[in-house]
Amino acid sequence: MHVLPTGSALRARPGTDGVRRQVIQRAKGSAMTLRSSASRYARALFDVGRAEGLDLDRMGDELSGVAALVAGNEQLERVLGNPAIPASRKRGVVEGLLALSPVSPVVSRLLLLLADRDRLVLLPGLADAYRTRLLDFHNVVRAEITTAVPIPPDRVAALQGGLARLTGKEVQLGVTVDPSLVGGAVARIGSTVYDGSVTTQLEKLRQQLVLAEV
């Protein structure tokens, strides 16, 4: 007599590729959740600062300074990001940091709140989200230009001016070099990418040729 398998046994078990995809999807979901949470804390800090007439730029510098301090100390980063370590101990560590490097009361309260809620893992994203909100408040946007070869300062200034006209905002421009682009440039403003690289144009041409052969 054959025993029929249960429903759970009949379900297809994911192969290696399926498991890998699940892990990647979960990691992406976790990263999105962290960014969303960091953005909410950043917005709350910014709103409190505006409502109380505080120095918003100073608050951003303090937040970025603490985030950089933690990121630059591997042991400290490991302790504050370890979910197995009690929140009370993490609060004590943060209190010690604040004693050595005092910050404004509102930033101090936020850092201690993150420690109490065991959410200090949000600190890097929170600092970045706050900086983005602050730049938007000042009508400034961050942009990145990637070119195949180094470009002279006057060309950088021209690109910066063009992006300023495109966005209607003052542009903080960062420039990097990537020889794999072959030629042209790629501009990234927030989540928008303007790709004028030779590599991309060649890839588009290749795809057109492939389609033409079908």
Give whole-number Cα distances, 158 to 145, 166, 204, in Å: 12, 12, 27
Q: Of all residues in the chain, what percent carry a pLDDT higher than 70?
A: 77
The mean pLDDT of the chain is 82
For 203-213, how does the pLDDT look when each residue is reduced to its tens digit (9 = 90+)? 665 565 556 55
CA atoms within a 13 Å half-sphere pointing along the CA-CB vector of 193: 7
Please state which of the four CATH numbers 3.90.230.10, 1.10.520.20, 3.40.50.2000, 3.40.630.30 is assigned to the domain occupying 17-135: 1.10.520.20
pLDDT at 87 over 60: yes
Parse the chain into domains and list their residue ranges: 17-135, 140-213
pTM of the model: 0.70
pLDDT at 170 over 70: yes
The residue ranking higher by pLDDT, 28 or 144, is 144
What pLDDT does residue 19 have? 44
Q: Report the distance separating Cα 181 and Cα 201, nearest Å.
A: 10
Q: Report the distance separating Cα 99 and Cα 113, nearest Å.
A: 16
Coil, strand, or helix at residue 108? helix
Give the pLDDT band (50/70/90) at residue 4.
very low
In 3D space, the residue among 184, 189, 185 whose CA is nearest the CA of residue 172 turns out to be: 189
Please state which of the four CATH numbers 3.30.70, 3.40.50, 1.20.930, 3.40.30 is assigned to the domain occupying 140-213: 3.40.30
What pLDDT does residue 188 have? 85
Q: In sequence order, which residues have a C-beta less than 8 Å from that of residue 112 and are 6 or more positions away?
A: 91, 94, 95, 98
What is the average per-residue pLDDT within 99-121?
Answer: 95
What is the average per-residue pLDDT within 130-137?
Answer: 94
What pLDDT does residue 46 have? 97
pLDDT at 93 over 90: yes
What pLDDT does residue 209 have? 56
